[in-house]
Every structure is written in structure tokens, then in C-alpha cells.
Structure 1
Amino acid sequence: MAALQRLTSVLRRLGRVGLAPLFALGFSGLAAGSALAVPSFAIQTDHPCQACHVGGFGPQLTPYGRDFKLHGYIERAGPWNVPFSAMAVASYLRTSKDQASPPANGFSTNNNAALDQVSLFLAGGLGPHLGGFVQTTYDGVAKAWSWDNLDLRATTVTHIKDTEVVLGLGLNNSPGVQDAWNTLPAWGFPYTRSALAPSPSASPLYLGGLAQKTLGASAYAWINSAVYVEVAGYGSPNRSSLARLGADPFAPGDIKGLAPYGRVALQGKVAGGTVEVGAFGMRTDIHPGRDRLTGATDRYDDLGLDSSYQNALDSGDVLSFDARILRERQTLSATCALMGPVGPNCADARLTDLRADVSYYWRDKVGATIALFDTYGPANADLYPDNRTLKPDSSGVTLQLDGTPWGEGKSPLGPRFNMRVGVQYTLYSRFNGASKNFDGAGANASDNNTMRIFAWFAY
């Protein structure tokens, strides 16, 4: 109830700043994180992209796509296929007002066109028990290569009476990247984004702070395609290994020991569609910046609930909904010790992150999505000194229209080629603590409203 009230409050604030007509437009149309599109899986299974992905393009999974992933990527229609794929994302980005300084070398304070990323994949199944993918990415903004998402699995299928149980062991490099639902941050909307876009300064660690900075081993069970249970532990590779892989070894730091992770999800049929409800949690102790001089660590306790619904209608249209609430308790003993003289409440911080999106794909090709986001927490003068309210609060809405003409596998360039084009618009009702004059120097949340036009190719 509190989460619903919070999202309702966001809607009211957006309405007060003149965004109600845009909400009406978004709902009438419905009557990088990191992007992922791997055509080698389509070739391996002899199914078009629409079989696994809503709208005929990754990464939003259909129930069939979830089952393919949880079975270890091993389903195969033929004896062999080339297990390589490539992907590229390019975009044009404009903010309501020029940014105070260029967001990256070689770019201007506004109106930027960029090759956001180019990714190469080794992806496929190997025999009846092994499968996964390895991704490496060129960041066109930072102009550097690095390792990207990693998800390797060993699975087997057993039966307990008449109940099928998939048992799996996995290795991955980002908490949640192994998940089969699009509710967790690793695969949550927006499915493609630009590093040039302005973003709030406060964010829970679980929202990508550990991505490509960790290695985790997991064990899971997928019971009767209805119950998912997983436990995992994450640690930090050494500094030199991360540097060689192109990752920053100092941010956010290295994990002390192992960080435990847990996930449960229930999936079933409701009202002609597939519904999921679940929970997830993680506890992480970090030496910030790999510093050990203070003898202390920063602790992050993350607990969340999520839910999704997807319905492939008889008309060929697809309706989907994803939502989650994440609460993160931070005990920043090491960070506050490194900062020097601080207030008595410096180390005690909390963030709540709410996300909800609904999309409608006409004929599973042309889609409209509206997504609400809200991050908030108590004021802390030591952690948020650069905004007027001393709070981490940021909220708003993202609207997206996109089209995928060849999701059914009939591209003139062959079944491996796929393409999505679209436009995103993100509007902020609050940014870094306030709607108006959030920095004390006259900047408003709406100054960061961002339009992005993108083209996303996969082969």
C-alpha cells in the first residue's frame, strides 16, 4: 500500500509540472543498462526472435524465453550452428537545457549523436547440460573495450513423481543477470540507454553498482515451470584482473569475503496470461575504493519484491507489466571514516527504489511503453551536500515508442539480422532532492528532461 501511495504521489507531482497530457497520450497508446540481443540463440533453436522476446527483440523475455534460459540455453534444432553474434546501438540525445559541462570527452553540452556500444557474443548450448553467453562491449562514449555480461550454466533435469525439476549451477558477473524475469535491474526497462544522458547522483548499489565488478556462483531449482529458488555468493576479482578486463577496480571497491544472494519466484497462469511474484535479497560488505586503512567496511542490505504479468492476446498483440520495490539499508562506516569530520548520522542511510512499467506491442512489432521511477530516502548532510534539500530523491517517467520490423525472422539480410528503432523521452518531476532549484543555483529537475532517438542492430 505504501508503494502504491508513493507512485500515486509521483503521478500527482508530474501532473503539477504539466505532464498530465503526456501521461494521457502514453496510456491511450497502450489501449544501456545493458542491452542484449543474441541471434545465435534464434539460429540454434530455429525459432524467430519473437518466440523468446516480447516485440521480437531482446531482452524482455516471453514465458518460452524464460524456460529456455532456465534450462541452460541448451535447446537445439540442429546438430551445430555458429555460436557468435554481434550487436550495435547508436542514438541521438537532446536535453531540455544544456548541461553544465560536456558529459564526456569529444561530446558537447547538448545535442549529441553517438555510437553507444558495439557488443560481440559467444552464445549457445554445448551438449545436453552446458550453455550460456559471454559478452564483450566497446563503449562508444568512453571509447574503450571491456568485458560485459557473463552467464554460464550447467543444468540437468530430473523428475520427482510427475514434477519436472531443473537443477542448475551458474557463474555470472552481475547480481541478477542470471534472472529470467525483467523486473530486476540487470534486465529492467529501459532496455537500452545512453551514458550521455543525465542521471541522478543517488542510486542503490544493487542497481548495477556491482555489474562487471564481481564473480558469483549460484545454484538454483526450477520446479514444474512454476517455482524458482536460487542461492548465490559473490566476490571481487583482484584489482589487476579487473583492470585487464576493462573494468574500474576501485569503484565501488572490493567485497569482504562473499556477499550472499537469494531469489525466489512463483509463476502461474492468471486471466489468460502469465503472472510472476517474487522476492530477492543481498548483503554486501565493501572496502570502498579497496581501502583498508580504516579497518571498517560499508554494508549494504538489499531486500526487494517484484511482480510481472504478460499476456499474448489472440490478436497477436502482447501486453506486459513489470514492477519492483527495493529497499536498501546502508551502513557506511568506512566511507564516513574516510571523509573526515562528519555528523553523527553520516553512516546511517536508506534508499527506496520503486519501478513500474507497462507495454503494449501491436502485432508483436510496434510497441509503446510507459515507466515510472522513484528513488527516495532521508536527508543526510554528509552524503548529499551538493543539493539544496540534502535528500537523494529523484522521480519521473520514461515514455518509449519502438518498432521491430523483422522479429519474426524474415529480414532481407537473413534470419540472423534484426533491428529495432525507437524514441525515448524521460521527464523528471524531482532530481537530486527537489523539483525546483535542486542545486541551490537555479537548476530545475525539468532541465534534465531527455529525448533519445535510437537504432539497435543485431546479427
Structure 2
Amino acid sequence: MAGLGRAAAPPNLSRRFRIAPLLAFAVAALGAGSALAVPSFAIQTDHPCQSCHVGGFGPQLTPYGREFKLRGYTERATAFNLPVSAMAVASYVRTQKDQASPPANGYSTNDNTALDQVSLFVAGGLGSHLGGFVQTTYDGIGKAWTWDNLDLRATTVTHIKGKEVVLGLGLNNNPGLQDAWNTLPAWGFPYTSSALAPSPSASPLFLGGLAQNTLGVTAYAWVDSAVYVEGGAYGSPSRSALTHLGADPFSPGDIDGLAPYGRVAFQTKVADGTLQVGAFGMRTDIHPGRDRLTGTTDRYQDLGLDGSYQKALDSGDVVSLDARYLHERQTLNATCALAGPAPGCADTRLTDLRAAGSYYWRNKVGATVAVFDTFGPANPALFAANRTFKPDSSGVTLQLDGTPWGEGKSPLGPRFNMRVGVQYTLYSRFNGAGSNYDGAGANASDNNTLRIFTWLAY
């Protein structure tokens, strides 16, 4: 990532690492994050944002918000509403020490202010069976438009042995985007971030590596508002299509055939709150950089467990907890063939642990504490820039935010909503170590990041 210091590779390995750009699978290049706030849904349902979202602002869903999503965004209280919305995120970013180089063209090595993104949405339900949203985003850091999140659904409701069953068929462009819980990477905390902040170089492919460069169709059943079962597959649009949509067609590459995806979850009431536990998995074979000369692929096998708990107190306060375990097995035959012989290059793994807890006073002012830990075995062929040759990074993110008009009483009308917040991320390990992680004296704490943000929706 930009701004990370790099040590020289050992002489006997330097030739092999000239194809480092092909290791894009390891880069958490998520831009400004998967932020989502769609006021047109609030107008359609005649419910304020806090009915669907914890703290009165997206994307963290309440139980009601989950039902609205799983039923295809079709609930409607008005005969017609304009199904368009807009969103903007701006932030100030400061790291504990200056970054080694500017994080992007036109920015300095520290103390940067930017319009992170501006998004436009077409979002709403069509009749009682069709609904969804299409998002396009202007990247204020990269200065370019691109297609963003896409979630289109067809649903119906039936009854089997006296139990209500919602059946759905969906099209989306990011595995997990269609999920109704805030535990999978597409909608996990932090719900907004900035590309100006330093990021660890290694992360599982499932943590966003397939976002906006795939298309998938999945079918699901939501049984008695308790059991969720989903299955489907993802493929890669053509290079030309992705280029026209503003996406990078080469990172991480194109999927060989189809990549199967599966998800199960169970939700129930516990102590007047809502408890959810689940599992998910995906297997993806990729030609890195769309290079098929090696005749082989890189294989990623992702398996995970997740859980959440949410409770609304009598005072109007809301407590929520989210956690996820993800293990990724990587068999990088194509990448290692392109790099040249390197013992132990092909087989590796990454484990990613995440947990976040938040408390929202009167469902308006919230405090969140989140911990993260990514780790795996040492691999000199893949992590040559890290002194320890390990991918390990860990830390904690603290956030304080406020949403004054989540109940829909903005002076600018019910469509307008705003969240302001402060984030601080502290790293205990970064790219393999806590101290001197790059062999040039850089410490993990050098990347500690303060971010102050404003998030507007209309």
C-alpha cells in the first residue's frame, strides 16, 4: 500500500519479486469502505432511518432492517416515491508519524483532508416481488467514477408445514453484500474508512478482494424469520465490461469458471435481544492479473463462523455485538509459477479475527470498540517486504459518532441525514511485527491513525 516503507529483498530473492504487483490478493484496497445510507428506503416505508439502522444511520441493520432486506426491499407505505438517493463522505486523516510517501497523488505524507466519496443510488421496491439498489460512486481520492454496490432481488413468500418461508433470488457484485447481518466483510465495522489511511498489506481475498469485479447469482430461503440458507456462485465479467464500469479488471484477476458460495445462519430471541450465529464459505480459482500462460490458477478456500447480538433497551439505548472468524487456505500455483521457483511459495493460509461492540445512547450517540487480528505462517516468497516474512497485523479501532436526525426530523426534510464521527486505530502489529516491521526502523504504532469524518445522505 502507499506510504509503507519497504526493505530491500535478499539478493537471492530479488529477481523473484519483480512480479509483486501480481500479489494484489494480499492488499486490502477497499477505498473509502462499503458505506451505505439510502434515504429513499425510509421514504418508501415511511419509517425513519433508525427503524432499519442502529444509531439512525447505515449500514448496521436492526432486526426490522434485516427483514426489509431479506424480503427484497419491497415493503411500501406510499403509492410512489422517487427511488433515488445520494451520499457523501469527507474526512481528515492524521497518522502518528508521516507516511513514507504521499498516500495518493495530490496529498501530503500527513494531515490530509479529502472528499472520500460521493455516491448516487437508484434504490427501491417494484411491486411486491422485485427490489434492490444500484450504486455508482465517485472516488474522491482516485478522482474517478466507478460502479459500486449492486444488490437486485426477486422474492416470494410461501408456507411450508405452517411456517412462513421467504424465497429469494439475487444478483450482486460482492460476495456477502447480500447478507443481512453486519458480520461478513461487506458490511462489517468500520462502516466507513478512508483510502488516505495506511492499511496492512495482507488480508484474505474474501475481505473485499472480489468486490465490484465479480457478478454472482444466489438463491436463499428465510424460514420462519429464524433459519437462513443460501447458495450460489460468482464469475468474472469481461475485461472490457469492467473497464467501462470503472473497475480494475486485473486485480485480483479473473475467476476460472464459477466460484461457489454458501451461507447458513440461525436467529432467535435471547434475553429480549436478537442472537444470530452462522457460517459461510467460498472457493475461488483465479488467474492472477488475467494471465493464463501458466495453465494453472491460484485457489482460495474461505471458511468462516460469525455471530451477533443486538438489544434495544427500554431507555431507547441500543447495544450490539458482532464477531467473525475467517480462515483462508491459499494455493498460489499460478502466482508462484510466474514468480519463478521459490520453496514454500504456493501453500499458505491467513486467519482473520474481528469483533466489535457498540453502545448507542438514545439511538443517536454511539461508541464502538473493535479489535482485529490477521495472522499466518512466514512466507519469504509472498511477504518479502516484511522483516519477519509474516503477514501478521493486529490492533483496535475506537469510534465515537453522532446522528442527530436518525428519527427523521431534520430541518432539511425526512430525506436528509448526517453522521459525524471520530475514529482512532491503534496497531500492535503491522506487516509482520510490532517494531521495525520493514527492517528500516518503522514501528506498527507509526501507522496509528486519527480520522474525523462527516457522512451525509439525502
TM-score class, shorter-chain normalisation, is over 0.9
Instruction: Give CA-to-partner distance per residue, 1:112-154, whole Å, 9 cap, x none.
Output: 0000000000000000100000000000000000000000000
Residue in 2 aligned with 1:103?
103
> Residue type of the partner of 1:168?
G
Q: Is residue 398 of structure 1 aligned with residue 416 of structure 2?
A: no
Percent identical: 82
Residue in 2 aligned with 1:308?
308
Q: Distance in 1 between matches of 2:342 and 2:162?
A: 61
Q: Is residue 386 of structure 1 aligned with residue 378 of structure 2?
A: no
> Residue type of the partner of 2:349?
R
- How far residue 272 of structure 1 moved from its aligned partner, in angstroms, is 1.1
Q: Where has structure 1 moved over 2 Å in runs of 4 or more?
A: none
Q: Is residue 64 of structure 1 aligned with residue 57 of structure 2?
A: no
Q: Is residue 202 of structure 1 aligned with residue 202 of structure 2?
A: yes
SS at match of 2:205: coil
> Residue type of the partner of 1:423?
V
Residue in 2 aligned with 1:436?
435
Q: Distance in 2 between matches of 1:281 and 1:214?
A: 16
Residue in 1 aligned with 2:276?
276
SS at match of 1:35: coil
- How far residue 232 of structure 1 moved from its aligned partner, in angstroms, is 1.1
Q: Distance in 2 between matches of 1:103 and 1:339?
A: 27
Q: Distance in 2 between matches of 1:395 and 1:334?
A: 29
Pairing of 1:163-178 with structure 2 (within 5 A): 163-178=163-178
Q: Is residue 453 of structure 1 aligned with residue 436 of structure 2?
A: no
Pairing of 1:293-442 with structure 2 (within 5 A): 293-343=293-343, 345-442=344-441
> Residue type of the partner of 1:431?
F
SS at match of 1:315: coil
- How far residue 78 of structure 1 moved from its aligned partner, in angstroms, is 1.2
Residue in 1 aligned with 2:291?
291
- How far residue 340 of structure 1 moved from its aligned partner, in angstroms, is 1.4
Q: Distance in 2 between matches of 1:172 and 1:274?
A: 27
TM normalised by structure 2 equals: 0.93
Residue in 2 aligned with 1:21?
none
Instruction: Give CA-to-partner distance per residue, 1:37-74, whole Å, 9 cap, x none.
Output: 00000000000000000000000000000000000000
> Residue type of the partner of 2:93?
L
Instruction: Give CA-to-partner distance per residue, 1:201-244, whole Å, 9 cap, x none.
Output: 00000000000000000100000000000001000000000000
Residue in 2 aligned with 1:229?
229
Q: Distance in 2 between matches of 1:46 and 1:141?
A: 35
Q: Distance in 1 between matches of 2:394 and 2:147?
A: 31
Q: Distance in 2 between matches of 1:149 and 1:367?
A: 26
Q: Distance in 2 between matches of 1:161 and 1:374?
A: 44
Q: Distance in 1 between matches of 2:42 and 2:72?
A: 15
Q: Distance in 2 between matches of 1:402 and 1:383?
A: 38
- How far residue 341 of structure 1 moved from its aligned partner, in angstroms, is 2.8
- How far residue 162 of structure 1 moved from its aligned partner, in angstroms, is 2.2
Q: Distance in 1 between matches of 2:431 and 2:99?
A: 15
- How far residue 342 of structure 1 moved from its aligned partner, in angstroms, is 1.2
For structure 2, the 5+ residue unaligned runs are: 1-31
- How far residue 36 of structure 1 moved from its aligned partner, in angstroms, is 0.1
- How far residue 161 of structure 1 moved from its aligned partner, in angstroms, is 3.1
How much is the aligned-residue C-alpha RMSD, in angstroms? 0.4
Indicate if the aligned counterparts of 1:33 and 1:187 stay in contact, CA closer than 8 A.
no
- How far residue 348 of structure 1 moved from its aligned partner, in angstroms, is 0.5
> Residue type of the partner of 2:85?
S
Residue in 1 aligned with 2:4?
none
Residue in 1 aligned with 2:13?
none
Residue in 2 aligned with 1:38?
38
Indicate if the aligned counterparts of 1:437 and 1:443 stay in contact, CA closer than 8 A.
yes
Q: Distance in 2 between matches of 1:269 and 1:125?
A: 28
Q: Distance in 1 between matches of 2:296 and 2:316?
A: 56
Pairing of 1:258-273 with structure 2 (within 5 A): 258-273=258-273
For structure 1, the 5+ residue unaligned runs are: 1-31
> Residue type of the partner of 1:383?
L
> Residue type of the partner of 2:380?
A
